[in-house]
């Protein structure tokens, strides 16, 4: 396992997500990347999808993260701050002490490992490539802000007998989303062309300070080569659209790796 395993886990959670472009606007808001003619039923389902995506400029949350990864079990406190489309800042703490810190922008990724007194700097694309992850900055944000994902270039979408939405793309990325009776997202399953699966279960919905209901608990299971890897995130505090700071400095005596 790589030295920055906890960061690698967060990155790998979004390895099944692809880019979005050429989107078709719905009559009720939101855009879908498809050439399909959408029926009223499908328009309604896609409206549910877009309502799961939290609108924000500033995002700040803290809570507990638990990881079962490559035979290791880890738990830590996670503090997250995001400036939409610009900065993702994450602090990892254990027993009240900082373990590590990362800051990612669309161009650059910076990491500090307090235990080993090391740091790393990457171009964001290079960092994602090192982990063999077809993801980008926007997709990585979804790990923390939740919301139903739609793959690019949708060729087929349908409502399954159990009421879930199934979406198939020309890129080989597929998504399936389940909603409860009040249209809240409760489960998602994403698969990619390499047969990797990412399952998310959402629960403990509460209203944010902006008024939108948001799942404070999210359980993620990533299956690679038949092996399940788990990352659970449970927020205890969350605030939307309150300006945040992103402190990040690398001590001069830390070693670059």
Q: What is the pLDDT of residues 221-248, one digit of tens each?
A: 877 677 777 888 899 999 999 999 999 9
- Average confidence (pLDDT) over 176-205: 90
Best-predicted range by mean pLDDT (146-160, 173-187, 190-204, 226-240)? 173-187
pLDDT of residue 29: 55
pLDDT at 181 over 80: yes
pLDDT of residue 139: 65
Half-sphere exposure in the Cβ direction for 81 (13 Å, CA):
12
Compute, in degrees rounded to 10, the torsion defined by CA atoms 51, 53, 54, 57.
Answer: -120
pLDDT of residue 185: 94
Report the CATH fold assignment for 5-245.
Answer: outer membrane lipoprotein receptor (LolB), chain A (2.50.20)
Burial of 151 (0-12, 13-18, 19+ CB in 10 A): buried
Angstrom distances, CA of residue 54 to CA of 14, 130, 142, 152, 252: 17, 29, 10, 20, 38
In this prediction the pTM is 0.80
What tokens were used for 138? 């926007």
- Average confidence (pLDDT) over 95-111: 87
Q: Which tens digits make up the pLDDT trace of 105-120? A: 888 889 888 888 999 8
Angstrom distances, CA of residue 241 to CA of 59, 88, 172, 251: 6, 14, 35, 31
Provide the residue ranges of all domains of the chain, joining segments of one domain with +.
5-245
Cβ-Cβ contacts under 8 Å for 91 (sequence gap 6 or more): 78, 79, 98, 100, 101
- Average confidence (pLDDT) over 150-156: 86
Parallel, antiparallel or unpaired: strands 154-159 and 227-240: unpaired
pLDDT of residue 9: 46
pLDDT at 122 over 90: no
Reported confidence tier of residue 25, pLDDT bands at 50, 70, 90? low
pLDDT of residue 249: 92
Q: What percent of the chain has pLDDT over 70?
A: 81
pLDDT of residue 6: 47
B/e letters for 38-71, b = 16+ CB within 10 Å, e = fewer, are beeebeebbebbbbbbbebeebbbbbebebbbee
Complete DSSP assignment for 122-142 = EEHHHHHHHTT----HHHHHH
pLDDT of residue 142: 72
pLDDT of residue 226: 76
Best-predicted range by mean pLDDT (28-42, 68-82, 190-204, 231-245)? 231-245
Q: What percent of the chain has pLDDT over 90?
A: 32
Stretch among 14-18, 21-25, 226-230, 238-242 having the lowest mean pLDDT: 14-18
Closest CA to 224 of 186, 183, 178, 192: 192
What tokens were used for 33? 């990347």
Cβ-Cβ contacts under 8 Å for 133 (sequence gap 6 or more): 11, 12, 14, 15
Grouping H, G, I as helix, E, B as strand and the rest as coil, residue 253 is coil
Reported confidence tier of residue 11, pLDDT bands at 50, 70, 90? very low
Identify whether the C-beta of residue 191 lies closer than 8 Å to the C-beta of residue 197. Answer: yes
């Amino acid at each position: 396992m790589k030295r920055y395993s906890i960061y690698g886990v967060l990155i790998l959670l979004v390895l099944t997500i692809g880019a979005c472009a050429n989107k078709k606007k719905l009559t009720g808001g939101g855009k879908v990347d498809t050439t399909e003619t959408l029926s009223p039923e499908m328009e309604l389902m896609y409206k549910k999808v877009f309502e799961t995506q939290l609108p924000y400029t500033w995002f700040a949350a803290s809570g507990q993260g638990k990881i079962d990864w490559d035979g290791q079990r880890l738990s830590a406190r996670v503090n997250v701050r995001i400036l939409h489309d610009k900065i993702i800042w994450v602090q990892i703490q254990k027993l009240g002490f900082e373990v590590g810190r990362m800051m990612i922008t669309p161009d650059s990724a910076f990491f500090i490992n307090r235990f080993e007194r090391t740091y790393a700097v990457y171009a964001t694309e290079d960092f994602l490539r090192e982990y063999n992850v077809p993801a980008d900055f926007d997709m990585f944000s979804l790990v923390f802000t939740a919301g139903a994902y739609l793959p690019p270039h949708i060729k087929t979408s349908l409502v399954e007998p159990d009421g879930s939405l199934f979406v198939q793309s020309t890129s080989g990325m597929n998504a399936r989303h389940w909603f409860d009776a009040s249209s809240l997202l409760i489960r998602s399953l994403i698969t990619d062309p390499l047969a990797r699966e990412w399952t998310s279960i959402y629960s403990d919905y509460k209203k944010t300070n902006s008024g939108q209901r948001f799942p404070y608990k999210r359980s993620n299971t990533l299956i690679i080569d038949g092996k399940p890897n788990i990352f659970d995130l449970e927020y205890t505090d969350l605030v939307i659209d309150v300006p945040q700071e992103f402190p990040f400095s690398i001590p001069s005596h830390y070693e670059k790796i």
